Structure 1
């Protein structure tokens, strides 16, 4: 087994991945404001490959609820439009033959509550992942060390790291909910 510093570094690297993943997931939650990140996962079939459509166009936020997509080649306009429709982001693209405009509708109170519930489920999954890392490392510690004091110190350090990352994720959750509830 590694020494305590290497162990904690390894644990924190794994927990950082979960934190990053959660942060990435909630950044894509549509809250009634234009945000290009909501389009990051949309791909277009081009030359028998799936490519992110931002490789084929420029994307800009032109006001708080409108995104403008300008393809570099006109032939990609309909491909991008179809990809947005297929993506199920809940926004109908407006194609004027030169560019695509996405108008993000304002959220209803009911929709805001649904989004918060979804965010809560994502939070719980992230916390479970963090606790699973803690469990795995506690099991490793139990197998590797026979000295009770050392074992307890390592387990306590793992617990503190887990608590730290759960606090970070909960803070992200709280901030996102404030943003969602802001009208």
Structure 2
């Protein structure tokens, strides 16, 4: 570590990765509205390899409750359908022989509360990741710098960056929960 700018850039790059991962996971949560991001991690067994669903088909939202999956090759319909069923996303695929339609069911109050509970766990995991990163960087600072004033300044900068990113993930969390439990 040569200076504070390098240190802050390095930790913020790592914090951005945590933020991006958290944002991605939150966007995949099914909230009763059609959203193609909920299928981003879905894979299909294709010639004995796991292949992302979007490599084998186009995926589009046709209205607020329906997603349409059009395979590039018609013979992939059944393997895509099986993968959706195995994925446990809670949606029964409708295969009409040309495409697969996913109709997103409305959320029950119980399901909404369950999703919020899981969101709380994801929020806590993201905060823990950020705090662990802060802890690691404070150790690095103590090893690299001998001047007490400089050491304290860098620790403070790392602490402020951590607070900033915790605030960002809390905002994502609040926004998602408002979508799930509209007031």
Instruction: Give, in whole Å, the separation in 1 of the partners of 2:138 and 2:173.
Output: 27
TM value normalised by structure 1 = 0.97
Give 1:1-183 correspondences, 5 Å limit: 1-182=1-182
Instruction: Give, in whole Å, the separation in 1 of the partners of 2:13 and 2:142.
Output: 21
> Alignment RMSD, CA only?
1.1
Instruction: Give, in whole Å, the separation in 1 of the partners of 2:99 and 2:4.
Output: 56
Give 1:69 deviation, angstroms: 1.1
Instruction: Give, in whole Å, the separation in 2 of the partners of 1:149 and 1:32.
Output: 53
Instruction: Give, in whole Å, the separation in 2 of the partners of 1:48 and 1:111.
Output: 35
Structure 2 residues without counterparts, runs of 5 or longer? none
User: Which SS does the other structure have where 2:29 is aligned?
Assistant: coil
Which segment is superposed worse, 48-57 or 96-105? 48-57
Q: Deviations over 1:25-71 (max 9, x none)?
A: 00000000000111111111222322112221121111111111111
Could you list the runs of 4 or more consecutive aligned residues of structure 1 that deviate by over 6 angstroms after TM superposition?
A: none
User: Which SS does the other structure have where 2:18 is aligned?
Assistant: helix
Instruction: Give, in whole Å, the separation in 2 of the partners of 1:124 and 1:76.
Output: 39
Q: Deviations over 1:117-150 (max 9, x none)?
A: 1011000000000000110111111122221111
User: Which SS does the other structure have where 1:88 is aligned?
Assistant: coil
- Give the number of equivalent residue pairs: 183
Structure 1 residues without counterparts, runs of 5 or longer? none
